Structure 1
Amino acid sequence: MDFSASPSGYVRFVHPLHAVLLAFVFPLFLGTLAADIAYWRSAEIQWSNFAQWLNAGGLLVGGFALLAALVSLVRHRKFAIRRPAVYFVVLLAAWIVGFVNALVHSKDAWAIMPEALWWSGAATLLALVASWLGYAGFPAEEKH
């Protein structure tokens, strides 16, 4: 992986495979939120089932993205100081919130609202921030 500085002074942190995995996390959690909103508005139980599957997909792909982020932090310690570490922590928080959301969705469909809606919103917001941090690039020279 090339960590040389670009003309703008930023480096690419994520490996291309890591970027592909990261590209799925936000849309899957966003789909979970959209399905929860649809269930909240319609009370059609299939939306709850759809939200469960989307959330499970977000957790599966997010787990692999989290593993890739951890490998990058361990392999390139001089870059694991600030923003890459914050990226890892935010992605970990999104995964944990998504896991709690999966536990909430495991209850009876009538019992998950509005709790599932809040957890889905939090997971979506954290996944958005993690994606933004992961794709933004990181300064080539960070001040300690």
Structure 2
Amino acid sequence: MHRAGAAQPSFRVPAETTRAARSFFLSRWRAAVGFSEKGYAVVAVSAPGALPPLHPLHAILLAFPFPLFLGALLSDVAYGRSFELQWANFSSWLIAGGLLVGAFAVIWALVDLLRGGRAHRGRLALYFAVLLAMWVLGFINALVHAKDAWATMPEGLYLSVVTTVLAVAAAWMGYSRSRPGKAT
């Protein structure tokens, strides 16, 4: 806000410059949209295969299940070799962490699926299905690991392998969405 007596700053551009700039941009625009002196040409281009990139918060949520389920797998392997009960406890806690963060990623994927366009519904449904399968098998794995440590082998190890593979697949599918300027 300026006082009444203060000099106002001048942001005026000479008229010749604005006419030249306007002419330049109009010629570029006409060439881009297919305008000619004879008439107009209207073209609509759609790219149904391109998915929008992941929201940054969704990407963060998607980053956690894989290392947590991988840690559970490695601690199951360590328990299978040493029969030290603490490895089974580590595995149970890592699975619980993967389920907690994975649940938020599944919910976010469901919202993306429901809000996504018809062109993207198939890929989003597959991504959601893989995430949901990861979470359900991780939950079954948590129930198996809730038993006595001696009773968790070998099915706990097998479930950890499958859950980890599904976590890798879900992360791969989520992070391989198209980026601006690239088609999928």
Which bracket does the TM-score occupy, shorter chain normalised?
A: 0.7 to 0.9
- Whether 1:95 aligns to 2:131 is no
Q: Is the 8 A contact 1:13 1:84 kept in 2?
A: no
- Whether 1:28 aligns to 2:28 is no
- Whether 1:40 aligns to 2:80 is yes
Query: 2: CA distance between counterparts of 1:64 and 1:88?
Result: 12
Query: 2: CA distance between counterparts of 1:13 and 1:114?
Result: 39
Report the CA distance between 1:99 and its aligned residue: 0.4
Distance 1:52 1:79, change over 3 A: farther
Q: Secondary structure at 1:14's aligned position in 2?
A: coil
Query: 2: CA distance between counterparts of 1:77 and 1:63?
Result: 23
Q: Secondary structure at 1:113's aligned position in 2?
A: coil
- Whether 1:111 aligns to 2:151 is yes
Q: Is the 8 A contact 2:66 2:167 kept in 1?
A: yes
Q: Taking every aligned residue pair, what percent have the same amino acid on both sides?
A: 57
* Structure holding more helix per residue: 1
Alignment of 1:63-102 (within 5 A): 63-102=103-142
Q: Secondary structure at 1:91's aligned position in 2?
A: helix
Query: How many equivalent residue pairs?
Result: 136
Match of 1:129 among 137, 147, 169: 169
Q: Give the number of the structure with larger relative contact order, counting CA–CA contacts within 8 Å between residues 6 or more apart.
A: 1
Give me the CA root mean square deviation.
2.2
Q: List per-residue Cα deviations over 1:102-126 (Å, max 9, x = no partner).
A: 0100110111111100000000000
Query: 2: CA distance between counterparts of 1:87 and 1:124?
Result: 15
Q: Which residue of 2 aligns with 1:51?
A: 91
Q: Secondary structure at 2:121's aligned position in 1?
A: coil
> Scaled by the length of structure 1, what TM-score is found?
0.87
> Scaled by the length of structure 2, what TM-score is found?
0.68
Report the CA distance between 1:141 and its aligned residue: 8.4
Q: Is the 8 A contact 1:32 1:54 kept in 2?
A: yes
The structure whose Rg is larger is 2
Q: Secondary structure at 2:64's aligned position in 1?
A: helix
Query: 1: CA distance between counterparts of 2:52 and 2:67?
Result: 22
Q: List per-residue Cα deviations over 1:56-90 (Å, max 9, x = no partner).
A: 00000000000011111112233542211100000
Q: Is the 8 A contact 2:51 2:120 kept in 1?
A: no
Query: 1: CA distance between counterparts of 2:146 and 2:61?
Result: 25
Q: Is the 8 A contact 2:69 2:95 kept in 1?
A: yes
Q: What are the ranges of 5 or more consecutive residues in structure 1 without an aligned counterpart?
A: none
